[in-house]
Chains A and B, each alone.
Chain A
Amino acid sequence: MRVRWLAVLSCLVGVFALGLAACGDDDDSGGSSSGGDISGNELTIYSSLPLQGTSKGQSEAVINGEKLALKEVGGKVGKYTIKYVSLDDSTAQNPGTADEGQTAQNARKAVQDENTIFYLGEFNSGGTKVSLPILNKANIPQISPSNTYVGLTTNDPGSEPGEPDKYYPAQKRTYARIVPTDTIQGAALATIMKEDGCTSVNIFNDKTTYGAGLAKNVEQSAKDEGLTVKGNDGTDKNAPNYRSLAAKITADCFVGSGVTGENYVQVFKDVAAACPDCKLYGPDGVAEAAFTDPKQGGIPADVGARTKVTVATLSPSEFEKQGISAAVKFFDDFKAEYGVAQPDPYAIYGFETMDLALDTLKAVGDKANDREAVRNQLLTKTKGRESVLGTYDIDQNGDTTLTDYGLYDIKNGQLEFVKAIKVGGG
């Protein structure tokens, strides 16, 4: 009898332990997954960007923008003090882009920190594919300053099967971005090629989430514009050169849909040599000094002179022309803070990322320590927001309603704003 009683007791203890373990699992993956309040008056905002390699300049500009926005509110929102933590999602061996392992580690670090209220990043869409599901399970609101890949938020053309649902295991949206998607960038590139008199286009993509996705969007938009797409070829980062691949280009225009860190300086050099009359176009993935400046290992000046780049930001004068006074103030403040009058195009996105996060916290008042309240505010109530980028909404998918893209030339190793490209659609 005693033995039977002990057995029953052991079973009960076992069941209880299993229950605890299961609860423990939830906690591990979800942190404050219930959206419960963060105790105390300190909230942490994490930033995760590639701080090594070719994207270092862009990332530093984003960070400077974020810090400026935080400084402007005195590092506080209501009764809460904001702690800013900058993380590096690249590694020495895999610089210039988000390293998957490191990115996952960064996201887990944010999840394990009970004070985390926002996660700003990643810079690369491929990185967000890794961090988003981890943060989503923990109900941590995330804002990217630069992701353009379509599949992160919608299943529109350019996305892969299963997207975007697979990034939201909690079955609710926690992610927003302030840059127009590649649907818009693809259309912007196609629009400008058409304006430049292109009749056909060859596309190379770097096979990353961003590059391959954007290439699909360019392909579709180019067809819509009546251009003949002669090819869309993937490139291998480790290839010694791309001469023979470039030799197959038969179009009069070329789009290199990739990032500098995927050997796109070499791609553009080889394409320029193989196709001396081609017009060359690059996306925001190459809008950085490591690509534009020969002194920093970028493309030679003669190739730069033939290359146009699209970035989802405008020049200070264009912002002024459009009457966006907040942007004008931003550039003045940025110059006063860092002594740079013409910051990297991503600086303003860094500022807006943080500013959006802070305004969201402000809007929920005392509930700024409640992840669910903050998430809800960000994704359902960001409407008609007047920002440094202009007035926009965050739609139900987490995308911005902004559509302007800037067209840039490369002069003296630097990006020089040419004009704004107005693109409709989504």
Chain B
Amino acid sequence: MSVPTRPSLRRSACVAVAASFALGALAACGGSSDDTGSVAKGPSGKIVVLAASSLTESFTALGKAFEAEHPGTTVSFSFAASSELATQVEQGAPADVFASASPATMAQVSDGGNTAGKPVTFARNTLEIAVPAGNPAKVTGLEDFAKKDLTIALCAPEVPCGAAADKVFAAAEVTPAPDTLEADVKATLAKVTLGEVDAALVYKTDVIAAGDKVQGIDFPEAADAVNDYPIAVLKDAGNPTTAQAFVDLVLSAGGQKVLSEAGFQRP
């Protein structure tokens, strides 16, 4: 009788599969960078900046400028939804600077005593309708977001761009019919870039960053939901000197120029 040996064979196959699954999960979980603080006088060493997704392009450029200005420094970024980053700070993520896309999210961090000083507003952003190049669904304004036959992406109300979207729809008295509520503004934009949705509400800066794959359509109610962007050095910053120097660069004339070129308004 040979059948009784089968379970052991099968079981080892299962174990191998389960093991590879566990490895995959581990690999997927890794990734937060550690900071190596230094106590030199001028800016030096490495800092970690947590910044709202919408700052991806402008802050990456500012980070390069900072590293060029202060040789020996390294600026690493983690871009995600501000609300997600705020949770990470509260959970003790090793970071030096936090730049948020909304004062409410920053307040969540500063009220918990996790910022070193008072957050400073460094930029403002407004929403814009984003459609794939050529505007295949002929979207003209916010009213089109109520059409059920269009495929619409919005940010989830839990993240700042979603909260801003709720405000403009309330102001315009439009009830949107979204097909997906994305976890951050870049994910929302990606659905437009891929051509998988007919329209989305993202920041003006995202439309500019997306280049010619995406077209922007302005709408008057955008003025009802202008997002202030605050920045602050974090209390547990491993490298506060360099962190403050980076914040100073963001607030400087040069930093503001980079931000306005990306489509941000001055505070």
Q: Do A and B come from one complex?
A: no
**Interface residues, chain B, with chain A CB atoms under 8 Å away:** none
**Interface residues, chain A, with chain B CB atoms under 8 Å away:** none
